[in-house]
């Protein structure tokens, strides 16, 4: 194992603002905790709700200064850009249909972006954001947080180093039960997540299938290239699929994807298996701090996160505790915020980071996710295989790493 370079310490805390995340929003609290745990960010501003009263109330709960609690994201973007201690980056944790307009507004003001998926309702919209990011040279991170588990990084490093040999099969699954009982609201309307008008053509494929595909591509270095999908409603009746089974091609490697949010008895069952000509790897999010690698005709080996032998720099660098001290999903999220903090600071200071130090997902990865969902929807209708790769001019980003400051004008190639 090569020795590793630890992350450089921050010269100051990066300043983070939030759009969305107000009262009751679960995901906003995750971002905030992860940013704090990373020890690289302070949260200083927010437009936490589109409802002005809730925005104010949430701002107080978040202990934000009242003059930096905004009722409207456009106002916030302009005000923060003008503020002498303005935010370095915005975290976008709104309902899905707002991701793209909010991101555009902050990019336009020169503020780095951290955005939840899905990026945009259509590939065209997503590609417009890719272009906006490329033109601006700003950091644009997307919170496929599972890929930031240290054992996922170990998995990727082992594949890159050839420990699995040539890849022959890629299987990824993600089973949850939460939407089995999802029903119409009091007024008889479907929740927005399962309303085709507001969510596009997919519920679960977009919501968690994109996580699964990103994970598979990130670890194996193979973009999802085509898909044959079989959509179902397994839970209470709804207008969009809550279950999808897909035959996949990741480059030339065949595989499968299974996702369901109405799989009773399952919680957060994201599991990736890759079979190569030398060994298999098996990573399961519910025991995310371990990685099982089984070579041909040999005992299975259980890697664990932490200060541990046998880890590649990409995994070892993320250790906070000794091996045997479990690392949870918030640590994965915090890893993402650590890398984004580094990237944002490097962009502003011109600091050159070592090759391979950063692994956060980019706007291109998010656009690849949108392309996958569109293709899966088409395939479910046509019964045929459908291409799901982004066009050639951008596809290298779909499984790659963010570019690095010093290599060009922007931190993303």
Identified binder of a second copy from the candidate list 96, 134, 136, 176, rule CB under 8 A: 176
Which residue from 135, 183, 325, 352 is in contact with a second copy, where contact means CB under 8 A?
Answer: 325
On the 0-12 / 13-18 / 19+ scale of CB atoms within 10 A, 153 is buried
Of the candidate residues 10, 95, 137, 221, the single one contacting a second copy (CB under 8 A): 10
**What CA–CA distance (Å, rounded) separates 366 from 389?**
12
The answer to whether 9 contacts a second copy (rule: CB under 8 A) is yes
Q: Is 161 in the site for a second copy (CB under 8 A)?
A: no
**58 makes contact with a second copy (CB under 8 A):** no
Q: Quote the CA–CA distance of 38 and 234 in Å, as a whole number.
A: 38
Q: What letters, b where the CB count within 10 A reaches 16 and e where it falls short, cover 89-98?
A: bbbbbbebee
* 378/226 Cα distance (integer angstroms): 11
- Interacting span for a second copy (CB under 8 A) from 99-107, 132-140, 323-331, 396-404: 323-331
∠ Cα 254 257 263 (to 5°): 155
Site string for a second copy, 254-293 (x = CB under 8 A): xxx-x-x-xxxxxxxx-----xxxxxxxx--xxxxx---x
Residues 394-413 that bind a second copy (CB under 8 A): none
CB of 224 to a second copy, least distance (A): 15
Candidate residues 326, 354, 406, 408; the one interacting with a second copy per rule CB under 8 A? 326
Only segment of 212-220, 302-310, 338-346, 355-363 that touches a second copy (CB under 8 A): 302-310
- CA-CA distance, 228 to 386, in Å (whole number)? 6
Min. distance of Cβ 16 from a second copy in angstroms?
13
Measuring CA to CA, which residue among 82, 46, 38 is closest to residue 67? 46
**Of 13, 130, 159, 227, which one interacts with a second copy (CB under 8 A)?**
13
Count the residues of the shown chain that bind a second copy, applying the rule CB under 8 A: 88
Binding segment (CB under 8 A) for a second copy, from list 26-34, 66-74, 216-224, 367-375:
26-34
**322 belongs to the binding site for a second copy (CB under 8 A):** yes
Do residues 242 and 179 make contact, with C-beta atoms less than 8 angstroms apart?
yes
| Residue 351 binds a second copy (CB under 8 A) | no
Residue 356 backbone dihedrals phi, psi, to 5 degrees: 80, 5
The DSSP result for 179-217, as a single string, is GGG----TTSPPPGGG-HHHHTT-SHIIIIIHHHHHHHH
What is the DSSP secondary structure assignment for residue 98, as one 8-state letter? G
- Residue 81's Cβ-count burial label (10 Å; 0-12, 13-18, 19+) is middle
Q: Is 61 in the site for a second copy (CB under 8 A)?
A: yes
Q: How far is the CB of 98 from a second copy (least distance, A)?
A: 23
- Residue number, 97 or 320, with CB nearest to a second copy: 320
Candidates 214-222, 346-354, 363-371, 380-388 — which segment interacts with a second copy by CB under 8 A?
380-388
67: contact with a second copy by CB under 8 A: no
Q: Does 183 bind a second copy (CB under 8 A)?
A: no
Quick one: which H or E segment has residue 386?
strand 386-387
Q: Which of 86, 206, 235, 403 binds a second copy (CB under 8 A)?
A: 235
How many whole angstroms separate alpha carbon 229 and alpha carbon 22?
36
Q: Which of residues 70-109 bind a second copy (CB under 8 A)?
A: none
At which residue do the structure tokens 């995340």 appear?
21
For position 36 contacting a second copy by CB under 8 A, the verdict is: yes
Supply the minimum distance, in Å, between the C-beta of residue 296 and a second copy: 5
| Beta carbons of 363 and 402 less than 8 angstroms apart | no
């Amino acid at each position: 194992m090569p020795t590793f370079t630890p992350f450089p310490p921050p010269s100051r805390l990066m300043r983070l603002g939030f759009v969305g995340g107000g009262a009751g929003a679960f995901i906003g609290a995750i971002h905030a905790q992860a940013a704090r745990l990373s020890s690289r960010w302070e949260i200083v501003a927010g437009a936490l709700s589109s409802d002005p009263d809730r925005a104010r109330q949430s701002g107080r709960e978040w202990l934000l200064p009242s003059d930096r609690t905004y009722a409207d994201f456009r106002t916030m973007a302009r005000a923060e850009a003008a503020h002498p201690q303005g935010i370095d980056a915005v975290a976008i944790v709104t309902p899905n249909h707002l991701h793209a307009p909010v991101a555009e507004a902050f990019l336009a003001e020169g503020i780095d972006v951290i955005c939840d998926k899905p990026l945009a309702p259509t590939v065209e919209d997503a590609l417009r954001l890719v272009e906006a990011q490329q033109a601006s040279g700003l950091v644009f991170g997307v919170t496929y947080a599972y890929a930031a588990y240290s054992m996922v990084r170990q998995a990727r490093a082992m594949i890159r180093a050839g420990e699995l040999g040539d890849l022959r099969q890629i299987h990824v699954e993600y089973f949850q039960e939460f939407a089995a009982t999802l029903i119409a609201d009091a007024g008889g309307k479907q929740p927005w997540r399962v309303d085709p008008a507001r969510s596009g053509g997919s519920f679960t494929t977009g919501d968690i299938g994109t996580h699964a595909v990103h994970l598979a591509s990130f670890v194996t270095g193979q973009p999802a290239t085509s898909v044959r999908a079989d959509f179902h409603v397994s839970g209470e009746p709804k207008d969009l699929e809550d279950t999808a089974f897909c035959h996949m091609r990741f480059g030339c490697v065949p595989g499968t994807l299974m996702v369901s949010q109405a799989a009773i008895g399952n919680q957060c069952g994201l599991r990736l298996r890759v079979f190569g000509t030398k060994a298999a790897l098996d990573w399961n999010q519910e025991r995310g701090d371990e990685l099982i690698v089984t070579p041909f005709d040999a005992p299975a080996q259980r890697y664990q996160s932490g200060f541990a032998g046998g880890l590649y720099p990409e995994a070892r660098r993320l250790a906070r505790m000794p091996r045997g001290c479990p690392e949870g999903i918030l640590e994965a999220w915090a890893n993402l915020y650590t890398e984004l903090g580094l990237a944002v600071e490097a962009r502003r200071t011109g600091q050159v980071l070592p090759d391979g130090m950063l692994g956060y997902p980019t706007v291109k990865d998010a656009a690849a996710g949108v392309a996958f969902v569109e293709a899966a929807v088409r395939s479910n209708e046509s019964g045929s295989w459908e291409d799901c790769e982004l066009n050639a001019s951008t596809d290298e980003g779909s499984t790659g790493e963010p570019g690095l400051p010093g290599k060009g004008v922007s931190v993303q190639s």
